[in-house]
């Protein structure tokens, strides 16, 4: 097995960040769930849906960063592999959201580098704290993401089946990642951590909708 130096790890982390942040770089391994589903939206509807998809795209950027940070500091090899695999699966979500934003003639959030850096740091700290807390952090993150997705699904125009299918598949994946983290030994996080994560999530949601 090859031994990676600190420089190797830095280069790999930088490459992961670029793939998460540069539009058009990430490609999905699975077909877009909303493909072949024609949807016509009014201008006001398209603007609102674009805001929702921009928030969801930023949420996936955060998830990528979280998994990358945790994989870097996870102590057990099996936990590190699970973090890396989850990050790969989340890449589909990034690509799907970006595709939908392009269709709506909109853009990803300009604040994504901020969210990536913040989430990467939180993930690395969680990994240092121990694998059971790292997995618990994943479970709580996926729970909060799922709540956002369910809320956004309710907000979609009734005839926007294209966006709905994307968000429903994303939500199914997030819940699977949450259950996987809990089954692997994740524990509940202290109340202050819950509160901090909720606050950051609300800030990201409110700003990324517009910027």
**Which tens digits make up the pLDDT trace of 106-163?**
999 888 888 888 888 877 777 777 777 778 888 888 888 888 899 999 999 988 989 9
Flag whether 32 is in a domain.
no
For tokens 């990324």, the residue is 208
In this predicted structure, the answer to whether residue 167 has a pLDDT above a threshold of 90 is yes
Flag whether 3 is in a domain.
no
Q: How much is the pTM?
A: 0.80
pLDDT at residue 106, as a whole number: 92
Portion of the chain with pLDDT greater than 70, in percent? 81
In this predicted structure, the answer to whether residue 4 has a pLDDT above a threshold of 60 is no
Portion of the chain with pLDDT greater than 90, in percent? 14
Flag whether 183 is in a domain.
yes
In this predicted structure, the answer to whether residue 9 has a pLDDT above a threshold of 60 is no
In terms of residue numbers, what domain contains 97? Answer: 39-208
Flag whether 119 is in a domain.
yes
* Residue 68 marked as a ligand binder: no
Structure tokens at 27: 């490609």
Flag whether 21 is in a domain.
no
Structure tokens at 167: 């968000």
* Residue 174 marked as a ligand binder: yes
Q: For residues 73-89, give the mean pLDDT.
A: 66
pLDDT of 171-183, one tens digit each? Answer: 998 888 888 888 8
Flag whether 62 is in a domain.
yes
Coil vs helix vs strand at 24: coil
Q: Which residues contact 176 (CB under 8 A, 6 or more apart)?
A: none
The rounded radius of gyration (Å) of the Cα atoms in the chain is 17
Q: Binning pLDDT at 50, 70 and 90, where does residue 166 land?
A: very high
Residue of 182, 189, 207, 204 whose CA lies nearest to 61: 204
In this predicted structure, the answer to whether residue 103 has a pLDDT above a threshold of 60 is yes
CATH of the domain at 112: 1.20.1260.10
Q: Binning pLDDT at 50, 70 and 90, where does residue 74 land?
A: low
Flag whether 74 is in a domain.
yes
pLDDT at residue 21, as a whole number: 65
Flag whether 5 is in a domain.
no
């Amino acid at each position: 097995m090859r031994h990676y130096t600190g420089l190797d790890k830095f280069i790999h982390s930088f490459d992961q960040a670029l793939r998460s942040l540069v539009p058009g770089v990430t490609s999905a391994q699975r077909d877009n769930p909303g493909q072949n589903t024609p949807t016509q939206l009014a201008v006001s509807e398209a603007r609102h849906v674009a805001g929702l998809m921009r928030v969801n795209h930023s949420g996936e950027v955060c998830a990528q960063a979280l998994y990358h940070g945790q994989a870097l500091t996870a102590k057990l090899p099996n936990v590190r592999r699970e973090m890396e695999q989850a990050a790969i699966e989340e890449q589909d979500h990034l690509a799907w959201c970006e595709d939908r934003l392009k269709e709506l003639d909109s853009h990803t959030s300009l604040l994504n580098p901020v969210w990536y850096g913040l989430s990467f740091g939180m993930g690395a700290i969680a990994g240092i704290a121990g694998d059971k807390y790292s997995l618990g952090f994943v479970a709580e993150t996926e729970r909060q993401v799922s709540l956002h997705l369910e809320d956004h699904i309710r907000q979609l125009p009734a005839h926007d089946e294209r966006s709905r299918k994307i968000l429903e598949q994303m939500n199914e994946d997030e819940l699977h990642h949450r259950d996987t983290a809990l089954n692997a030994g994740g524990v509940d996080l202290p109340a202050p951590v819950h509160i901090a994560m909720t606050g950051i999530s609300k800030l990201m949601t409110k700003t990324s909708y517009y910027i």
